[in-house]
Amino acid sequence: MAIKLISAKIENFKSLGDVELSFRDLTIIVGSNSSGKSNCLDALHFIKNLLMSDSLTLEIMQKYVRLGTKRFCSTIVVEDDGERAEYTVCMASNKNNGKIVSENLLVNGTEVIQISNGEGEVRDEDGQNPQTYKSDPESIESLALRSAGNFGNKPFTKKLASYIREWKFYDIKSDEIRYFAEDMENFDAIIFKGKKIPNQLLILRLHNFKQF
């Protein structure tokens, strides 16, 4: 079976104060303009960036941290074939760049990663082999989830990191789609019926490759 994202909790990210999301095989986030739909996706995409990017500048961090707060946190819960993991990462900005405030990973109730301000422990998923972990909290390359699964007995940890790196997000705005498809007959009917949407998106891209 494939890993499934079950839920996410987002705190102090952009315009979001404290938001909890539940996910199914297909999850559609709807709401009025400026209600935070895109920011929910951005918060998840940020977790992916932590595992993929080389650095986070002060400018980027200030853009992400909610106005009037000093840090933001994201928690995700995933499941796969009876196994369950909960991963939390909290970030803040200092005078120069981003900083990893804390990072925690629970796998089937076992605390595999427990780090605060660059110091803590990393252990195997069976609770054995605890290792002292020290890193530079101002370097996202030292994020424990990036490499912890490569050592010891941490198969689900490694699978989780790979899963997050492969995340893809689609922020589809109906007004923009209609703009590109204004000369396509019965397009609205197809969208509202919810049928053949992937095929229609491909047609739109081929129809106006440079703009879509």
Contact 3, 160 (CB under 8 A): yes
Helix (H, G, I), strand (E, B) or coil at 179: helix
Superfamily of domain 4-165: P-loop containing nucleotide triphosphate hydrolases (3.40.50.300)
Question: What is the 3-state composition of the chain as percent helix, strand, coil, each rounded to the nearest 5?
Answer: 35, 30, 35
CA 155 remoteness from chain centre = 20
Domain edges within the chain:
4-165, 174-207
- Contact present, 134 and 149 (Cβ < 8 Å): no
- Cα torsion through 180, 33, 72, 24, rounded to 10: -70
Could you read off the pLDDT tens digit of each residue along the chain, which spans 212 residues?
A: 689 999 999 998 888 878 899 988 877 777 777 677 888 888 898 899 899 988 776 677 777 777 777 789 999 999 999 999 999 999 987 666 778 999 999 999 999 999 999 999 999 999 999 999 999 888 888 899 999 999 999 999 999 999 999 998 776 666 666 665 555 555 555 444 444 555 556 565 555 545 54
Element of type H or E holding 101: strand 98-107
Global confidence as pTM: 0.80
